[in-house]
Amino acid sequence: MDAKTLMLLALFHLILLLSPSIINASSTRKIRARKPCKSLVFYFHDIIYNGKNSHNATAVIVGAPAWGNKTILASQNHFGDLVVFDDPITLDNYLHSTPVGRAQGFYIYDKKDIFTAWLGFSFVFNSTEHKGSLNFAGADPLMNKTREISVIGGTGDFFMARGIATLMTDSFEGEVYFRLRTDIKLYECW
């Protein structure tokens, strides 16, 4: 190897060594500088069908593991249960407030040894304040006081929206009713 090749090699290695720190520094800076362009808080109310409440249930078990059934959430932390819901969304934590939209989608319980779920749903708004939808997806380790899921898009008033929603279980009654507080922070607004 001549001197020129050696120097080029050294330079190449120096760039390789430095590049991760350059990339990291710029990406953390970018995240820190960002502030939400829109913040919204909603509550949604989930009443799971339990064989007796068909008149007010807004969620149903549509899939269960072989050892369970579609009336009662299965043992082993409900692992394998798939629930479809069409829940009212309200601005405060009162179930009987006038809904501003519906939370529509599903959750699956996806771990045997701890309560945890995966959520995929939309907020469908049809009120004077908001028209359109926001789409959510992500893991919900529901034993944690707060957990974050992605806001992956939107339509109408929320055209191209993206952000993060912080979920908090605001209340639950046995395995039939729960209420989730949803703190939405959009980082992309049009």
Ligand X SMILES: *[C@@H]1O[C@H](CO)[C@@H](O)[C@H](O)[C@H]1NC(C)=O
The CB-of-72 to ligand X minimum distance in angstroms stands at: 4
Four-point Cα dihedral 102, 163, 152, 61, nearest 10: -40
Gap between the Cα atoms of 125 and 156, Å rounded = 9
Strand 59-63, strand 177-188: pairing: unpaired
The CB-of-44 to ligand X minimum distance in angstroms stands at: 13
Gap between the Cα atoms of 146 and 93, Å rounded = 16
Q: What is the DSSP letter of 68?
A: -
Task: Kindly state whether residue 177 participates in binding ligand X, applying the rule CB under 6 A.
Answer: yes
Task: Kindly state whether residue 71 participates in binding ligand X, applying the rule CB under 6 A.
Answer: yes
Interface residue with ligand X, options 24, 27, 53, 93 (CB under 6 A): 53
The CB-of-135 to ligand X minimum distance in angstroms stands at: 16
Gap between the Cα atoms of 107 and 144, Å rounded = 16
Considering only the stretches 68-76, 82-90, 159-167, 179-187, report the one whose residues sit in contact with ligand X under the rule CB under 6 A.
Answer: 68-76
Specify the residue, 94 or 190, whose C-beta has the smaller distance to ligand X.
94
Interface residue with ligand X, options 27, 28, 56, 171 (CB under 6 A): 56
Interface residue with ligand X, options 24, 28, 69, 93 (CB under 6 A): 69
Specify the residue, 130 or 147, whose C-beta has the smaller distance to ligand X.
147
Distance, C-alpha 142 to centroid of its chain: 11
H/E stretch holding 124: strand 117-126
In the region spanning residues 112 to 151, those forming contacts with ligand X, defined by CB under 6 A, are 126, 141, 144, 147
Instruction: For 4-67, give the DSSP string.
Output: HHHHHHHHHHHHHHHHHHHHHHHHHHHHHH---SEEEEEEEEEEB--SS-TTT--EEEEE--TT
Task: Kindly state whether residue 27 participates in binding ligand X, applying the rule CB under 6 A.
Answer: no
The CB-of-45 to ligand X minimum distance in angstroms stands at: 7
Specify the residue, 37 or 70, whose C-beta has the smaller distance to ligand X.
70
Q: Which residues would be at the binding site for ligand X (CB under 6 A)?
A: 47, 52-53, 56, 69, 71-72, 95, 126, 141, 144, 147, 177
